[in-house]
């Protein structure tokens, strides 16, 4: 009797553990709205979103060799480099520069210089279908690609924060569908220095985090790529060969 009682006890304990594991698996957030259940969505704007599907054959986002601040019109993308800042009294200057040491095929690179910000600093954005019509409703499906690739060097910065916006994380003013309690962005941080570095970041390394939970980026509904230059000091940053990673080049 004691043996049978102990056996039933172990069986019940095993069942309890199994149920607990299933509950944990089911309760783990799998989407932006799971992670931020209190976010308020504009259903009318959500219904107007349209998708530009990348074929995956033209990964180069901007090699800068055309000498302007318009991104390459390739694989459905239609955009220009834009700047953002923390709205304090800093300054930032953006242009195309010529660098003899540029790692790309030519010498043209994206050059940004700034400083004197008081809060979070400034940065650059690439709204991938930002010049499409109607521009605010465009969503870029980059699922044929594996991640983001670029070359960078910097003075005055030790790290660079990369962020991806999706239709769920972007506010209505940014072309997204969120009205209130909006989440942050899918982010990944890389170290930078005064020599050129090649950066490769798989989409799976862009995470949206809340508390102990994180979810990876779904590249099917991209709005924008952001380069955050987070410092209150002076800085200079050079970017070249900004591209998507293909399946063959992600390693």
Q: What is the pLDDT of residue 24?
A: 40
Q: What is the pLDDT of residue 21?
A: 38
CATH class (in words) of the domain with range 31-245: mainly beta
pLDDT of 48 over the 50 cut? yes
Backbone angles phi, psi at 48, to 5 degrees: -95, -5
Q: What is the pLDDT of residue 174?
A: 85
pTM (predicted TM-score): 0.86
What 3-state DSSP class applies to 34?
helix
Rounded CA-CA distance 71/238 in Å is 16
Q: 170-202 pLDDT, tens per residue? A: 988 888 899 999 999 999 999 999 999 999 999
Q: 53-100 pLDDT, tens per residue? A: 999 999 999 999 999 999 999 999 999 999 999 999 999 999 999 999
Query: How crowded is the C-beta side of 209, counted as CA atoms within 13 Å?
Result: 8
37: Cβ contacts below 8 Å, ≥ 6 apart: none
Rounded CA-CA distance 99/122 in Å is 23
Per-domain residue ranges of the chain: 1-28, 31-245
b/e per residue, 220-243, with b = 16+ CB within 10 A?
ebbbbbbbbbbbeeebbbbbbbbb
Stretch 203-219: mean pLDDT, rounded? 94
Q: What is the pLDDT of residue 12?
A: 57
């Amino acid at each position: 009797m004691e043996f049978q009682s102990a056996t039933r006890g172990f069986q019940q304990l095993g069942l309890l553990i199994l149920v607990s594991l299933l509950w944990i698996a089911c309760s783990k957030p799998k989407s932006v709205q799971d992670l931020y259940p209190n976010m308020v969505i504009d259903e009318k704007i959500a219904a107007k979103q349209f998708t530009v599907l990348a074929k995956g054959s033209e990964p180069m986002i901007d090699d800068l060799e055309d000498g302007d601040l318009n991104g390459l019109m390739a694989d459905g993308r239609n955009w220009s480099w834009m700047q953002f800042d923390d709205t304090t009294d800093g300054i930032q200057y953006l242009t195309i520069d010529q660098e003899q040491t540029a790692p790309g095929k030519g010498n043209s690179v994206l050059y940004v210089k700034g400083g004197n910000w008081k809060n979070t600093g400034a940065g650059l954005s690439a709204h991938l279908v930002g010049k499409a019509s109607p521009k605010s409703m465009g969503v870029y499906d980059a699922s044929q690609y594996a991640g983001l690739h670029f070359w960078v060097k910097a003075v005055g910065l030790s790290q660079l924060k990369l962020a991806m916006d999706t239709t769920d994380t972007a506010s209505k003013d940014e072309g997204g569908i969120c009205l209130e309690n909006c989440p942050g962005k899918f982010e990944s941080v890389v170290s930078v220095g005064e020599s050129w570095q090649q950066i490769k970041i798989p989409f799976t390394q862009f995470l949206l985090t809340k508390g102990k939970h994180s979810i990876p980026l779904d590249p099917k509904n991209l709005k924008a790529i952001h380069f955050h230059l987070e410092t209150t000091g002076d800085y200079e940053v050079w970017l070249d060969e900004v591209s998507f990673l293909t399946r063959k080049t992600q390693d």
